Structure 1
């Protein structure tokens, strides 16, 4: 999909499954978490465009606590596959790139950074939107063995592990296991009234 279309117009599958309550740029609705990937490789130029976008996210004191561990070779991907949960192995092993998102729990002076996870979530959001602009798809995975990942990737204790991000190009739904195919549609959202409170949280 071309850049102007994905930014300015809803895709057909999104239009059939999503509707915002208020005016919203189509880009935000066009981003959704797919599980079907093709075997098409992601160029370093496109991959690092996503990471560049993530790196421009806002952060407390501009600490930029996010860290990204990238797997894109067969050897690197095999290591990542080994610590994915069984359900996620059914589909995520098809993705040509996997990223492990971590964040530094400490500031440069050694003080604890209470905003590290919040800030790294913002970076992931930027990455996901840039992927959509580039015609790529992403899916954040929480189901993985964090201790095994830490040991295999030699991650120091001051970094907290958050999610594995699958990155690639959208494949056909029919390539997924049958039990997963019904999930391969853009999801809806709760009503804003359920998550937004003016003044105070109502009972």
Structure 2
């Protein structure tokens, strides 16, 4: 097994050419605790999410954006599983990703989570383009976040995104450090693509 020591570039070994923000994207846990995401950069990242496609143009995504050092950041961090708390406190920004699963008339929005996923993907690629890194998380207490921010019942907390600049991998606990430097792996296209005739 090859251990990666230079984490500044972990470009994917793709089977077909991809644009740089996709090929360069990976999910670090070592973030620079002093780095700041400028307001205009953050606005650009969120603008990318704004222009994601959605069913019937419903745009059912909502985001709670919290900068490191704010009360909102602390609320999100406190709701994370301990495994994620161990590293996410160094991120510059935490974003809780919410899906509006019921519209204003009380009708179910069956594609809301899918649409939110597309918006988060757009946000992620734009952040990479801006020279930042993201890491998506599912280990958190959704009810704690719901209660901490007094969210409407129609909103479901689906995931949390960390955003920041790369930090020192040696600051991570050993088990996380091992995962950080492990080789990137993906299934081949043949393993998950079926071509219908």
Give your verdict on TM over 0.5. yes
More moved, 106-115 vs 68-77: 106-115
Does 2:57 correspond to 1:62? Answer: yes
Question: Which residue pairs with 1:43 in the alignment?
Answer: 38
Does 2:18 correspond to 1:24? Answer: yes
Question: Which residue pairs with 2:156 in the alignment?
Answer: 160
What is the CA distance between 1:19 and its match in structure 2?
Answer: 1.1
* SS in structure 2 of the partner of residue 174 of structure 1: helix
Counterpart among 178, 194, 198 of residue 174 in structure 2? 178
Does 2:75 correspond to 1:75? Answer: no
Question: Which residue pairs with 2:92 in the alignment?
Answer: 96
| 1:38-68 residue CA offsets vs partner (Å, 9 max, x unmatched) | 1211111111111110110000110000000
Counterpart among 81, 85, 106 of residue 85 in structure 1? 81
* SS in structure 2 of the partner of residue 163 of structure 1: strand
Question: Which residue pairs with 2:141 in the alignment?
Answer: 145
What is the CA distance between 1:12 and its match in structure 2?
Answer: 6.6
Classify 1:143/1:12 alpha carbon distance in 2 versus 1 (closer, same or farther; 3 Å): closer
Distance in structure 1 (CA, Å) of the matches to 2:17 and 2:24: 14
Distance in structure 2 (CA, Å) of the matches to 1:101 and 1:75: 18
Gaps of 5+ in 2: 1-6
Question: Which residue pairs with 1:110 in the alignment?
Answer: 106
Gaps of 5+ in 1: 1-10
Q: Aligned residues, how many? A: 188
Q: TM-score under structure 2 normalisation?
A: 0.90
Question: Which residue pairs with 2:3 in the alignment?
Answer: none
Question: Which residue pairs with 2:123 in the alignment?
Answer: 127
Distance in structure 2 (CA, Å) of the matches to 1:66 and 1:12: 31
Q: TM-score under structure 1 normalisation?
A: 0.87
RMSD value, Cα: 1.7
